[in-house]
Homo-oligomer: A and B are copies of this chain.
């Protein structure tokens, strides 16, 4: 994972462009992605796919002829989606095109201007304060041209068309927690899934720019998702070793929510922070918009609006933990397994408990309790996730006992 991180880190990404394509090509080495190119100008829901951004070079020459703010040194130096410019400007004029953070003086901020055409550079406040008076030469050799926006996905088919969506975005250049860890975890999660002998569910992995990418996906596939999607998760800000958190779908008690909360609670050392849906955040804003209202929640560790390194050059390799990322892959995999194992049953002996020994079951004391929970609560409505949550018995343990009960003629699966 570290190796891929280091290859993907220096690429200049934005919502469109060659950097995105290169990123998706590298991710394809881990997960077999199908690429889609949506032409600039295409109407997608209320939005329009923008022109493609081409950056050749961008830097500034100081009055002392030092080259600074070179995009080749740090992607963040160039205002993302900047228009082109070439000329000589005074320090005063340059100032009106600079972005820095006085309260965080060593950080280069990450600033975008997707929908207002302007040029600019991002600079640490410390460096900004040291800029001398004089004439600066500015080179922003960029262009916005008709092209396309790149989306990629991979579908791993299961026995049913019931679908699980894993969604990550790929539009932030050289930002680690938000965002590079998200697509990496998604890609490695795919690997874990392919190791499963059989899958009941179909899995869809989606990569594209934040917001407009999900908008385009929903434009094309939203109505079908509304029919088939069982659960989905947006991975965002998920690279640190802070405890995993879960933000519920707008539905609030969707299967996505119940599975994630059960697994997080099972694995947590401390009380898990789960949040009700709120319409600011990442792509769950689109998936959970009123008109789609899909069962999509969001997993994260250090949330976008809760860390000072957010959207700065300090959100870097040192800020994240590869150990935690491995653990995240594992927890995500267990959430998917919970979805795989989850089922509803209907008990056949509902007047009093069944006499388990009569049906060939000779349970241990602990298994007996699990059998009592299963046979008492299986009414065709309660699923294993509910029973696991109420009983404290693990979902795999209950699933195993339920299979025994089906063979013994005590439970019948409900579909």
Contact = CB atoms under 8 A, between A and B. Distances in A.
B355 A292 contact: no
Contacts of A354: 46
A355 B278 contact: no
Nearest to A289: B352
Given A280-B373, A358-B48, A289 B391 contact: no
Interface of A: 45-48, 115-116, 211, 214-215, 218-219, 222, 278-280, 285-286, 288-292, 347, 349-355, 357-358, 362, 369, 372-373, 375-377, 379, 390-391
Given A218-B351, A289-B351, 18 more contacts: A46-B349, A46-B355, A47-B352, A48-B358, A116-B357, A211-B353, A215-B353, A218-B352, A278-B373, A279-B373, A280-B369, A280-B373, A285-B353, A286-B353, A288-B376, A289-B352, A290-B350, A292-B352
B351 A291 contact: yes
7 contacts: A46-B349, A46-B358, A219-B352, A279-B375, A280-B372, A290-B379, A291-B350
Given A286-B352, A352-B45, A357 B291 contact: no
B391 A278 contact: yes
B116 A362 contact: yes
Contacts of A347: 290
Contact of A390 (B116, B278, B292, B373): B278
Going nearest first, the 10 A-B pairs with the smallest beta carbon separation are: A279-B376, A291-B351, A291-B350, A290-B350, A115-B357, A45-B352, A47-B355, A286-B352, A215-B352, A46-B349
Contacts of A377: 279
Contacts of A352: 45-47, 214-215, 218-219, 286, 289, 291-292
A117 to B, nearest CB: 11
A185 B278 CA distance: 39
A215 B354 CA distance: 10
